Structure formats: C-alpha cells, structure tokens
Amino acid sequence: MSDTPAILCNGIKKIYGTGDTQVHALRGVDLEVHPGELLMLVGPSGCGKTTLISIIAGILDQTEGNCSLFGQDLRQLPSTDRVRFRGKHIGFVFQAFNLIPTLTVAENTAIPLLINGENRERALARAAECLKEVGLESKIDALPSQLSGGQQQRVAIARALVHDPKLVVCDEPTSALDHQTGTKVMEILKGLAMDGKRSLVIVTHDARIFEFADRIAHMDDGHIERVEARAAKDN
C-alpha cells in the first residue's frame, strides 16, 4: 500500500477550445509523486502548470491520458464520489487566498470540514488547532481584511489542512508575499510534508523557495522537460 504513488499521471494532454482557437496546454505529461514528497513544478508563465495541477486535483478534465491519486482514477468514479474523494483527500492553496470576507478566520478555516458534513462546533475546534499550527491562534475571530497578506495565506494553508488531506496542491502560494513572509509560509508547507505521509505539489516561479523541494519538475510548453532531485533542506 505504501508503494502506491500519491500521484501517477500518464500521457496527460489538455486542449482548450476548438478549431482555430485551440490551445495545446499539455502535450503528454508523465509524472509520479510519492507519499511524503514535496514536488515543485516550475516553468514560464503559460507553460501549463495551473492546468496540470487542476487536472491532478480533479477540478479539470484532461483531453487524453490517465491520472490516479493513491491508486484511484478520479474519472472512473461517479461525480458524487469524485467530489467526496476530493473533499476528503485533497487540500488547495491558491495564489489569491480566496478567503470569504464576511467570515471570521476560524470560519474560513473550517469550510472544508463543514462541506464534508462535520458538526460546526467540532469543525471550529479543529480549525483553531490548525490556526495554532500556522501561528495564528490570536487571529481566530478576526476578519480576513484585518490580516496582512502573509497572515491571509497562512489562513489559506490552515484551511487546506483542516480535513487532514493526504495531498496538498498549491498554486504559486508565495508569489504575493515578500521574501521573509514567503519563506515562513514555505517552512510551514515543508513541515507538512515531513510527517512522511502527506504529499505536496507546489507550483512556483519563486527560485528563492527551491531549496524546500525534494524534486523539481521543470515544465516548458506543455511538457515536463526534466525532473531534478534536490537534497532537501531539513527543517
């Protein structure tokens, strides 16, 4: 069971649009990510990074090829089971923190649990635990607008973890942050992968955070050109 890859992609192609306006966003991508691994996906703007992680996370359908998470091909599940699988096993962190402005920090963090049907009190208690892990216990009752960008991104990370997913997918999580705040956010993300079970895929332009990767997949024009193994920094 532990040999089952967290992510296994074979021959993934994605074409957007039809006819003259077709865009070949992915031209045949193979990728394997192991449990406990932190993989970074880097490459120029428009090379297909967001498309690839959206397919991996099951929020976008590929045109061709197969992708399995923990041995399960999401496309073979009926849509309700697919939504449930995603809600249970995957956490997302986006570039724009996507916090709901009228909800408190704790309520924002609890959203994945509430969607999964958890009782509100337990969901808020678990949210408080996760906020403590990212150093925001004092901001539990604040609104997102009362936080700095780095603090908002830490809330987004707490929200991505609150349901204890096996896979966390991040799209340029540090690009809106200054270097020091970005490093702090990366240290938190790296700590998550170090528990040995959880896998992280992080899309980034930010060469300053490469040191946190176990491997770096370099993309260009819809391909993974090479995968570089790194001696990852120990916390």
Ligand X SMILES: Nc1ncnc2c1ncn2[C@@H]1O[C@H](COP(=O)(O)OP(=O)(O)O)[C@@H](O)[C@H]1O
Tell me the sheet residues that pair with 30. none
Among 46, 71, 135, 191, binds ligand X (CB under 6 A): 46
Choice from 8, 9, 25, 158 touching ligand X (CB under 6 A): 25
Tell whether residue 23 is a contact of ligand X (CB under 6 A).
yes
Asked if 40 is part of the footprint of ligand X (rule: CB under 6 A), the reply reads no
Indicate whether 50 belongs to the interface with Mg ion (CB under 5 A). Answer: yes
**Residue showing the smallest CB distance to Mg ion in the complex:** 50
Stretch that binds ligand X, among 40-48, 90-98, 137-145, 175-183 (CB under 6 A): 40-48
Q: Which residue, 50 or 174, has its beta carbon nearer to Mg ion?
A: 50
Query: β-pairing, 215-220 with 38-42?
Result: parallel
Residue 23's binding partner, choosing from Mg ion, ligand X, none, with beta-carbon cut-off 5 to 8 A by kind? ligand X
* Position 199 contacts ligand X (CB under 6 A): no
Nearer to Mg ion, 50 or 62 (CB): 50
Q: How far is the CB of 193 from Mg ion (least distance, A)?
A: 21
DSSP, residue by residue, the chain: -TTS-SEEEEEEEEEESSGGG-EEEEEEEEEEE-TT-EEEEE--TTSSHHHHHHHHTTSS--SEEEEEETTEEGGGS-HHHHHHHHHHHEEEE-SS----TTS-HHHHHHHHHHHTT--HHHHHHHHHHHHHHTT-GGGTT--GGGS-HHHHHHHHHHHHHTT--SEEEEESTTTTS-HHHHHHHHHHHHHHHTTSS-EEEEE---GGGGGG-SEEEEEETTEEEEEEE--PPP-
Quick one: 23 or 100, whose CB is closer to ligand X? 23
Give the Cβ contact number of residue 235 at 10 Å. Answer: 8
Partner residues linked to 216 by β-bridges: 40, 228
Determine, following the binding rule CB under 6 A, whether residue 16 of this chain makes contact with ligand X: yes
Residues 172-201 that bind Mg ion (CB under 5 A): none
Among 37, 39, 51, 126, contact with ligand X (rule: CB under 6 A): 51
Q: Is 49 one of the binding residues for ligand X (CB under 6 A)? A: yes
Given Mg ion, ligand X, none, residue 68, with its beta carbon under 5 to 8 Å by kind, binds none
Query: For binding to Mg ion (CB under 5 A), which residues are involved?
Result: 50
Query: For binding to ligand X (CB under 6 A), which residues are involved?
Result: 16-17, 23, 25, 45-51
